[in-house]
Amino acid sequence: MIGPGRNFKEYQMPRPYPPIAVLPTPTPKPFPIGDREKADIARVLGLDSLPPELCKTISHAIGCYQATKDGSKDTTVANTLAALGELTKPGRAYKKAVQRLADERSGVDYTTHEMMRPLATAVLKDEPGSREALAQAVTKRMEELRAHKRVAPPTESLRFFCGVLRLIFNQSGSPALRGSLDESWQRCRKFAMEVFTVAGIDHADFDAHPERLTEYLGTDVSVGSRPG
C-alpha cells in the first residue's frame, strides 16, 4: 500500500479582500463508465473485470472532481487572511467578520471554516471565553496560511482527486499492489492515467513528468485535508 505525500493548500492571490458568500457546492453526478472503459481500467489493475462497487467508486470520484475542478476564484489564501484580519478590528467590522465565519457559505477555505465556525458561533451566542478562544485560533490559522506556497485553485482540486485515486487503487484488491514500493507507484500512475483518459482529463503534463503525478497521487486526503 502506498501512502500520502505532501499536500499544499495554496492558491493564486489577487488583491486580497474578504471572500463573498459562495453558492452551494454543485451536486456531483456519477460519471458514466462504458463497458469498454471498464475493461480498460480492469486491465490496468490486473483484474479480470471491474467489480461493480469499484466502478461505482471511480465514477463517483470523477463526478466529484468535475463538480469542483474549477475551484473558487474568491477562496484564496489572501482573501481568507483578509477575512480573518477583520477579526482584529473593533465594532461592526468585528461582528460582520464573526457572522461571516459562522455562515456555512462563508467563502473561506474548508479547513479554516471547519476550525472557525464553531468558535464564531460561540461568540455570537456570547459564551464565556469564546472571544479569546476565537482570537487564539485566528492567530494560529493566519500563521499556517502565511506559510503556504501559492498554486491555482484548480491545481488543488486535481491534487485532491489524485489522492482519492491512490486510495481507490490501494483498496482495489488489485494484483498490481504486489511488488516493491516503486512498482506499486508505477502501477498506481498507470491506473490514474487510465482514469484520466476515461474521464477526458488532459494528462499531457503527467506524460512528460511522471514524477509530478507521483507527487499528486501522494496528496493527503484524510479528514481535514479537503481542497478549499
- Does residue 201 surpass a pLDDT of 80? yes
**Quick one: pLDDT band at residue 30, thresholds 50, 70, 90?**
confident
Give the pLDDT of residue 78.
Answer: 77
Give the pLDDT of residue 21.
Answer: 47
- Does residue 97 surpass a pLDDT of 60? yes
Give the pLDDT of residue 80.
Answer: 82
Q: How many CB atoms lie within 10 A of CB 72?
A: 21
Radius of gyration of the CA atoms of the chain, in A: 20
**Top mean-pLDDT range of 62-66, 79-83, 133-137:** 133-137
pTM of the model as a whole: 0.58
Q: Which spans in the chain are helix H? A: 35-45, 52-68, 77-85, 91-102, 110-124, 130-146, 153-170, 181-199, 204-208, 210-217
Q: What is the largest CA-CA distance in the chain?
A: 66
Give the pLDDT of residue 182.
Answer: 87
Task: Write out the three cell numbers for 89.
Answer: 478590528
| Of residues 23 and 66, more confidently modeled | 66
Which residues lie closer than 8 Å to 130 by C-beta, 6 or more apart? Answer: 119, 122, 123
Placement of cell 492558491 in the chain: 11
Give the pLDDT of residue 4.
Answer: 55
Q: Are 122 and 135 contacting, i.e. CB atoms less than 8 angstroms apart?
A: no
The 10s digit of each residue's pLDDT in 7-25 is 434 434 445 544 544 444 5
**Quick one: pLDDT band at residue 74, thresholds 50, 70, 90?**
low
> What is the Cα–Cα distance from 185 to 85, expressed in whole angstroms?
42
Q: Are 9 and 115 contacting, i.e. CB atoms less than 8 angstroms apart?
A: no
Q: What is the mean pLDDT of the chain?
A: 81
Give the pLDDT of residue 200.
Answer: 93
> In percent, how much of the chain has pLDDT > 70?
78
Task: Write out the three cell numbers for 166.
Answer: 491512490
The 10s digit of each residue's pLDDT in 134-190 is 999 999 989 888 886 655 556 778 888 999 999 999 999 888 777 788 889 999 999
> What is the Cα–Cα distance from 107 to 104, expressed in whole angstroms?
8
Q: How many CB atoms lie within 10 A of CB 1?
A: 10
